[in-house]
Amino acid sequence: MKIILASNSPRRKEILSSFGFEVVTVPSAPENPPPENLTVEEKVSFLALEKGLDAEKLYPDTPVVSADTVVVLGESIMGKPKDRQNAFEMLRALSGKTHKVITAYTLFYKGQRVSRSVVTDVTFYELTDEEILDYVDTGEVYDKAGSYGIQGKGAVLVKGIQGDYLNVVGFPLSDFYRSYLWAVK
């Protein structure tokens, strides 16, 4: 099962490959910013759609998937940290609280588009500054929304999750697979 992944995310490629997809990655970036009047979930969905538009044109007869993931605490959207201090601040804000991980994806195939978003609640332990700095110093924080990777050393920060674990890693495979089956039928 060949699929085009319009993303540079190594985690998304790994998740799809582990299920048996032959994954070809195509770098992508949204061409337009989302309109300001959208909800967070709508903004993430907009970005996921935008990321796949060019790949859809290049590969019209092959399934193409694009995605975007954000961490949301209250009304605040957390992307990837800019630097060490920014990573520390994000993790300090998440400490002892429950936040949402939202991944939206769009599947393009032969003129069809399926767009979905998946939300997982993640609760962090109450963390000391020392624990946060120790984690930041692992270097694991820099390419991850919210500054943590649940699949790595960041797992010890997490008290619990409600929802899809792989969504927190970076791609909701179970939900996507149902969309894939529908699209390629």
Q: What's the DSSP call for residue 39?
A: -
Catalytic pick among 61, 68, 83, 129: 68
Nearest one of 40, 14, 10, 185 to 107, comparing CA atoms: 185
Domains of the chain by range and CATH?
Answer: 2-184 (3.90.950.10)
Query: Which pLDDT score is estimated for 185?
Result: 83
**Token match 């907009």: residue?**
46
pLDDT digits (tens, 9 = 90+) for 84-100: 999 999 999 999 999 99
Radius of gyration of the chain (CA): 17
Query: Which pLDDT score is estimated for 151?
Result: 96
Tell if the pTM clears 0.85, that is, is over it. yes
Residues in the chain where the model's pLDDT stays below 50:
none
Question: How far is 80 from 174, CA to CA, in rounded Å?
Answer: 25
Q: Determine whether 68 is an active site residue.
A: yes
